[in-house]
Amino acid sequence: MTLRLGDLAPDFRQQSTIGELNFHQWKGDSWAVLFSHPADYTPVCTTELGATAKLQQEFARRNVKVLALSVDPVEAHHGWIADINDTQQTQVNFPIVADADRKVSEAYDLIHPNASSTHTVRSLFIIDPAHKVRLIITYPASTGRNFAEILRVIDSLQLTDHHSVATPANWQQGEEVVIVPSLQDEALIREKFPQGYRAVRPYLRLTPQPV
């Protein structure tokens, strides 16, 4: 199965470090970040889980729940968490799914045979309150994830879901945004964007970020 943007994120029931976890039920109407790891006690993933734990307040402020996944058993996860807490000076406070039967890995297309026939690739999914997949990033084993970018994308998705805008390259919170080309009614534009806009080109109209 190939998972694409806009698809319904597959539901699953699997053991985790907080007990049996039913994904859609656990997630509720929150946003979610689901990210996979090839195995426990891997060095790059150890730093990633530590970084995620340190950002829990940032995720919570955005109504985002975080869920990690590895094919190793729950007992190994608990030992790994102890290592993460010690080496990264943090406290892992989100669940890690134990996907020993590869059920979740198969549903989310995490086994790439040309990379490994047994270990999952390091994919990350942002899933919205309607359980729709909004972002997929797959990283090579040698490169750690950029969590500032993940938060930036969440900010963009949440902003653009509520306003008729898109975010330009390298956009950060508080910077100008793009009025979507489909919005052409000038009266409606003035209503939606009372601060006005500047037209670099007819199709490229920049306006202060809506609040």
Q: How far apart are CA 74 and CA 62, in angstroms?
A: 28
Q: How far apart are CA 137 and CA 123, in angstroms?
A: 6
pLDDT digits (tens, 9 = 90+) for 83-139: 999 999 999 999 999 998 989 988 998 876 566 545 667 899 999 999 999 999 999
For residue 83, tell me if it sits in a domain: yes
Residue with tokens 């950002």: 55
**Token pair of 47 as six digits:** 């730093």
pTM of the full structure: 0.93
Positions marked active-site = 45
Last residue of a domain, one of 100, 116, 147: 147
Instruction: Using only the alpha carbons of the chain, give its radius of gyration.
Output: 19
100 and 51 in one domain? Answer: yes
125 and 194 in one domain? Answer: no
Q: How far apart are CA 165 and CA 161, in angstroms?
A: 8
Query: What's the domain count of the chain?
Result: 2
pLDDT value at residue 162: 96
Residue 110 structural domain: 7-147
Label residues 23-42 b or e (16+ Cβ within 10 Å = b): beebbeeebbbbbbbbebeb
pLDDT value at residue 171: 98
